Chains A and B, each alone.
Chain A
Amino acid sequence: GDSVTQMEGPVTLSEEAFLTINCTYTATGYPSLFWYVQYPGEGLQLLLKATKADDKGSNKGFEATYRKETTSFHLEKGSVQVSDSAVYFCALSDQGGSEKLVFGKGTKLTVNP
């Protein structure tokens, strides 16, 4: 079945450091790919998404590119802020009309001043 694997956390960075959170997926079709973010005490918020190969999703300085050849959707940000501290989830939605999202385990990011 479909699955998402993302790098184990936690990740701790200093403010203004470069961030990469790796995400790879396994899917039988051509899924849409998502990054969700969960701030402490809150639900999940959509951060960005990409629906086809070579699409780049971007939001709030975060970017991720849908790489079909490497089945990856790595999240990057050039300069993180303390306010970016959260748990980040990579997810996919399959093509088959199912409304199902498959999530990775989440990566906790802590940014120190």
Chain B
Amino acid sequence: ETGVTQTPRHLVMGMTNKKSLKCEQHLGHNAMYWYKQSAKKPLELMFVYSLEERVENNSVPSRFSPECPNSSHLFLHLHTLQPEDSALYLCASSQVAGGQETQYFGPGTRLLVL
């Protein structure tokens, strides 16, 4: 499989559930990202991992917990979410070499919190 894959593609969860989103990149990149895409709002960068270290956390609530066990995999652990967290969650990867590298996106996970 090529590119950036995300599972599941769709997820419905209650506010008391715990779930995880998975992202895998097959491009040999060394940086990975989580974005949130809500209706009528610009894409919001949530987390950045570069060389498996978290380098950016854009004031994301603690109910979102990222994990990057290696350069090819990225997880987003979810617990006690709120209905306003319903959105499309996009993963991306890039090869960091000096800035301005192109990011490649996965298809996203459509999350609905009831």
Whether both chains belong to one complex is answered with yes
State whether the Cβ of B34 lies closer than 8 Å to any Cβ in chain A.
no
Q: Which of A45, A49, A95, A99 has the most CB of B within 10 A?
A: A99
Q: Please, which residues of chain B bring their CB within 8 A of the CB of A96? A: 99
Measured CB to CB, the nearest residue on chain A to B106 is A43
Chain B proximity of A42: nearest CB distance (Å): 5
Q: Please, which residues of chain A bring their CB within 8 A of the CB of B100? A: 31-32, 51, 93-95
A-B contact count (CB 8 A): 61
A99-B55, A105-B41 known; A43-B108 Cβ under 8 A: yes
Chain B 73-111 interface mask (CB, 8 Å, partner A; 1/0): 000000000000000001010101011111111111000
State whether the Cβ of B112 lies closer than 8 Å to any Cβ in chain A.
no
How many residues of chain A have a CB within 8 Å of chain B?
26
Measured CB to CB, the nearest residue on chain B to A30 is B100
A99-B56, A99-B94, A99-B96 known; A46-B45 Cβ under 8 A: no
* Smallest CB-CB A-B distances: 8 pairs: A32-B100, A44-B105, A43-B105, A43-B107, A103-B43, A97-B99, A93-B100, A43-B108
- Please give 10 more A-B residue pairs, beta carbons under 8 A apart, in addition to A31-B100, A43-B4: A32-B100, A34-B102, A46-B102, A93-B99, A98-B99, A99-B56, A99-B96, A100-B56, A101-B43, A101-B45
Please list the residues of chain A having a beta carbon within 8 angstroms of any beta carbon in chain B. Answer: 31-32, 34, 36, 41-46, 49, 51, 89, 93-101, 103-106
